[in-house]
Structure 1
Amino acid sequence: MANLRSPARRSRLPALGVGVLLVVGALAGATAYTSNQTAQTQQTLAQTLEAQLEATGYAKVKSSTYQRGLLSSTQTMNVTLGKGTEDVALIVVNHIQHGPFPGFQAVGNAIVDTEVRFADPALQSRVEKAFGNQKPTIRTVVGLGGGTSTHLDIPAGTLLEEGDVGSSTLSWQAMTGDIENSGLKSSTRLSWPEFKLTSEDGVLTISGMALNGNAVKQNADDPLGVGEQVLTLASATYGGTSGGAQDGLDLKDLKVSSVSTLKDGFYSGGVQYNIGQLGFSGLGSGTQSLKNVQLHLSMGHLSREPLARMVTTLQTLGQQLQDDPDAADLSEAQKKALTDDALALLRAGPVFAIDRLSLTQTGGDIVLTGKAELPGASELDAETAQMLASSPALALGMVKVQAQLKAAEPALRELLGALSPDAAAGVQSLIDMGYLERQGNDLVSTLAFGSGEATINGQALGGGF
């Protein structure tokens, strides 16, 4: 166990940990290798590893050297980690063994063993003690065809930090990961069994975290690609005190997934949040418990070509700002390109949808669905868009919205009662006004908005827009 004694101030260790993980992930994901077995191939490999670090936006390569040998090469990068305040210096060393039999351990173009350490010897010593003197490993095998396979191992560890106002202990179990890339296809698998932070105020435990995903690009210049990412979390718990009161959080069975598809020149994408159980206490709210909480959002009918150009322009801008932080945000040409592509996206008729927002109470389910469209944007031009931007209320006439709330009556009363007794008492008033309709055991409210007018359950809302 490593022991860090410091004055009473907020620890930088969590931020440093996140930053180092970004660096590790960038290096592990470096995949743009060529298959020609020449000195230029190895130089390209070194340049790619450097570019992957820069792409994180959190790491800046200050210097890089490359030493080419007969059977192996070494790339050493001095990296600054941070956003300009209290930056931390890292040394990243890539030990590259050349193919076709790199290190006589595999058949391929190269094996890359990556070493990341802090430039400050004292800090590096503390980190090594936290890992029990075991080293994290990142090994990438570059195949003869240019594909890569990377394996990542972060050892378990414990870190104790002591200050004038108390101590905190950060502990974690070993994290493992595999990243595969075969040109236009890639996949990622990461697993982190447990992370625990114990302080004078309370204990936070995150267990059973895993990330799995895959992506496919149409060609090497495709900035978008399609694919799926799934993050799962078995549980997250917190128990502690705040201002003398007990606070608590109990989350179980979290699943966050995102998916993107391409059909007939249009992208569709969505993200889904699913929580098996969510309980919390404190903040003056007493104890609350929600089950089967779901939030599913999607965006569809996004024209591929203007979207891809917008992403490319924004990536170029990000690189410009990284190279010269004092540079102007956008050139006039970039502004015009982004405006033109944004208009093309709107004219194509994108659709935003709340596919499902729901939770389960003792009395049943509460479900909200809805979608928003822009049928009035099909003929939108730059002059009209500029006018609408200065007067957003005028744009409402172009929007079409449909939404429906459907809830088991006991569940709705239970939820509103937990939030406010007055809100629960107002349910009957909404029924009497026709804003909620009984359909069997459910209460239903249907909202429609179009041409600047809104209705609820077919009743016009006074005033319009």
Structure 2
Amino acid sequence: MKALAAVAVVVVGGYLGATVVTGNKIAAAYDARAEKLEKQFPFVRVVHRQAEKGMFSSTYSGKLRIGCAPAAGAGGEAAKAGKTLDIGFRDRVLAGPLPGFSTIGAAVIESEVVLPDEVPEGVRKYLAGMKPQDIRTVVGYGGDYNTRVRLPGGDIALPTGKLTWPDVHLSGAGNFDGGAFTFDGTLPELAFVGAEKGGKSTLDVKLAKLRWQGTSLPADSFWLRPGTSTLDIERLEVLANAGGKPVSAQIGKFKYLAEVKADKDLLDAKAAFTADATLRIGEEAKPIQLDNFEFQESLKHLHGPTLQKVLEASMAQLSSTCEGGKVSQEDAAALGLEMMRTLAQLLPHAPEISVDKLAVTYEGQRGEMSFSASAPGLTAEDVEEPVVMKAKLHANMLVKASARLPVAWVQLLGERSGDPAGAPQRVAQAHSMVDLAVGKGFAVRDGEFLASTVVLEKGAVLLNGKPMSEGK
């Protein structure tokens, strides 16, 4: 028995020691995260922080102050401009190695959010009714964390209408050291019924099956992290009244992708989405069906360190403003000039902006457009002098644009852009304009399509492969 008692003392003592160690680690992590948050977001401050530490659990509370507080003694417009929003939080931390005896790890954190009086009452009551287990984070010994959030289904009455939804589930995983993290969220349905006016709802919105997920990779900068983010929506329906006419829209198969890639110091960013849509204006109007709508834009060869300088300068200025600093017109002009000089340092890396594709199928016919602009060949020395930089930009600017549109769209535009009686005349005028554009060389016929390309290179313009002459 004595031996068993001795073993029990050792086990309990070891557990208590481990609990103290992990509790201290979590406390240090809280301090580090608060400091990092305020450094990354000058308009966010952690205020009214409190800590109640115990052997097996601790409670950390405080408020996130968002915005810039007015300077001491400020009144009138200055006081209005300095309005802030305080969002309260309360985290109950169960220390490991067996936090709450529900799992194995360094800690389990159960979080609560308290909204200020400025937020609509329905929203405040909803969050106040959530259970601590609805926002739960499990922390591992290596600093890794896994957060699960459940937003219970409910409804909220707003001044403009009523919002309803079923349970929403969100999750995120990463490491407190700022390494890679992933996130995922699902919203089965969201419905909004607008306030009635004249016996009818002003706006009805229904969203079905939303999924949001992504991954962010490690990087020195919080703002310039490589990664991907996707958003899928099965269906979005909107019904509204515009000038007494009912307007409806249905958007389906919506897919959005945002992606940032890094190659050493250079970043490439891309955003793209696809969708189908049906639009109707008026009860008896024929629906406008847009199929396989595609849009993709890109930013290439962005110099990360230069962008970081711009961000740091912007944040420093914002921080100074939040701390009550005043900026004269002369200082603002100087800051703007310095910002432009810093941005000019992007040019030697040949950045490019482009709309890679803008395409849609309408009435069985597909049209496409694209555009790109860059200025390759500039050096670091070129951007030192504004006059030299301007001349080099003019000489090196490279712009490309192209379009390929169905001729049938011209007919449809004439038929549907006004009253039926005037349709024949409008159609004839539209075809005359097409013939004029082809005759002047602005467009060329490619079977059942009208095509056009424009290239600006070294100060010269090529229109459909031919030099653009004066007078066209």
TM-score calculated relative to the size of structure 2: 0.76
User: Residues of 2 paired with 1:112 and 1:103: CA distance?
Assistant: 10
Deviation at 1:62, TM superposition (A): 3.6
Deviation at 1:249, TM superposition (A): 1.9
Matched with 2:33 is: 48
Q: 1:289 to 1:132 in 2, by over 3 A?
A: farther
Q: 1:317 to 1:213 in 2, by over 3 A?
A: farther
Question: Larger deviation: 87-96 or 113-122?
Answer: 113-122
Per-residue deviation, residues 98-138 of structure 1 (Å, max 9, x unmatched): 222222222222211110123559976x4476579554721
Q: 1:60 to 1:214 in 2, by over 3 A?
A: same
Deviation at 1:154, TM superposition (A): 0.6
Asked whether 1:110 is paired with 2:110, we answer no
Q: 1:43 to 1:265 in 2, by over 3 A?
A: closer
- Determine which of 386, 405, 408 is the counterpart of 1:407: 405
Asked whether 1:144 is paired with 2:144, we answer no
User: Residues of 1 paired with 2:373 and 2:230: CA distance?
Assistant: 26
- Residue correspondence of structure 1 range 10-409 to structure 2 within 5 A: 37=22, 39=24, 41-46=26-31, 48=33, 52=37, 60-80=45-65, 89-120=86-117, 126-127=122-123, 133-135=129-131, 137-161=134-158, 168-182=161-175, 183-199=178-194, 200=196, 201-218=202-219, 220=220, 223-281=223-281, 287-324=287-324, 326=326, 338-339=339-340, 341-375=342-376, 377-378=378-379, 379-384=381-386, 388=390, 395-409=393-407
Task: State the secondary structure of the residue aligned to 1:144.
Answer: coil
Deviation at 1:346, TM superposition (A): 0.7
Task: State the secondary structure of the residue aligned to 1:107.
Answer: coil
Q: Is the 8 A contact 1:363 1:408 kept in 2?
A: no
Question: Larger deviation: 133-142 or 83-92?
Answer: 83-92
Q: 1:169 to 1:357 in 2, by over 3 A?
A: same
Deviation at 1:453, TM superposition (A): 2.7
Q: 1:215 to 1:363 in 2, by over 3 A?
A: same
Q: 1:333 to 1:94 in 2, by over 3 A?
A: farther
Deviation at 1:297, TM superposition (A): 0.4
Larger Rg: 2
User: Residues of 1 paired with 2:232 and 2:430: CA distance?
Assistant: 35
Q: Is the 8 A contact 2:382 2:388 kept in 1?
A: no
Return the letter of the residue paired with 2:253.
D
Question: Larger deviation: 205-214 or 321-330?
Answer: 321-330
Deviation at 1:268, TM superposition (A): 0.9
Asked whether 1:461 is paired with 2:468, we answer yes
Q: Is the 8 A contact 1:303 1:348 kept in 2?
A: yes
User: Residues of 2 paired with 1:221 and 1:161: CA distance?
Assistant: 38
Deviation at 1:70, TM superposition (A): 1.5
Task: State the secondary structure of the residue aligned to 1:252.
Answer: strand
Q: Is the 8 A contact 2:152 2:166 kept in 1?
A: yes
Return the letter of the residue paired with 1:103.
G
Task: State the secondary structure of the residue aligned to 2:55.
Answer: coil
User: Residues of 2 paired with 1:328 and 1:66: CA distance?
Assistant: 41
Q: Is the 8 A contact 2:410 2:430 kept in 1?
A: no
Deviation at 1:153, TM superposition (A): 0.7
Deviation at 1:156, TM superposition (A): 0.8
Deviation at 1:298, TM superposition (A): 0.4
User: Residues of 2 paired with 1:171 and 1:154: CA distance?
Assistant: 12
Structure 1, unaligned runs of 5 or more: 1-35
Question: Larger deviation: 128-137 or 270-279?
Answer: 128-137
User: Residues of 2 paired with 1:353 and 1:336: CA distance?
Assistant: 26
Q: Is the 8 A contact 1:46 1:66 kept in 2?
A: no
TM-score calculated relative to the size of structure 1: 0.77
Q: Is the 8 A contact 2:365 2:406 kept in 1?
A: yes
